[in-house]
Amino acid sequence: MRLRPPLAVRAYARHCGVSHVAVLNAVKSGRLRESVRGGKVVDVALADREWTRNTSYSEAPIAIQEREAARELAASRAPAPTPGPAPDRCAP
């Protein structure tokens, strides 16, 4: 298994499709805790799980709520993954 190098906050923000300020706020508020060390996202998969588990879009602008609803719908309609090695990139 190949370890990925840590991502800068801005790179992780691009990965998530959000602003770097949103990621910094998530770190500051504790929504991203275990996956961030020294100002870098050291575990992207864990950060994605923390982001999903700890982020509520209920107070976000309507456009962001709609985007997240569309992502959830697309994920629910995606075919089940086939057994085998994990892909070599993080899923958004």
Dump the DSSP string for 5-62: PPEEHHHHHHHHTS-HHHHHHHHHHTSS-TTEETTEES-HHHHHHHHHHH---TTS-H
Residue 15, domain member (yes or no): yes
Structural domain containing residue 48: 7-76
pLDDT at 84: 62
Residue 53, domain member (yes or no): yes
Q: How does pLDDT run across 21-45, given as a tens digit for each residue?
A: 999 999 999 999 999 999 899 999 9
Residue 83, domain member (yes or no): no
pLDDT at 83: 66
Looking at the 3D structure of the chain, how many domains does it have?
1
pTM of this prediction exceeds 0.95: no
Q: How does pLDDT run across 40-85, given as a tens digit for each residue?
A: 999 999 999 998 898 877 777 888 788 888 888 888 887 766 666 5
Residue 2, domain member (yes or no): no
Question: Strands across the sheet with 36-37, in order?
Answer: 7-8, 40-41, 36-37
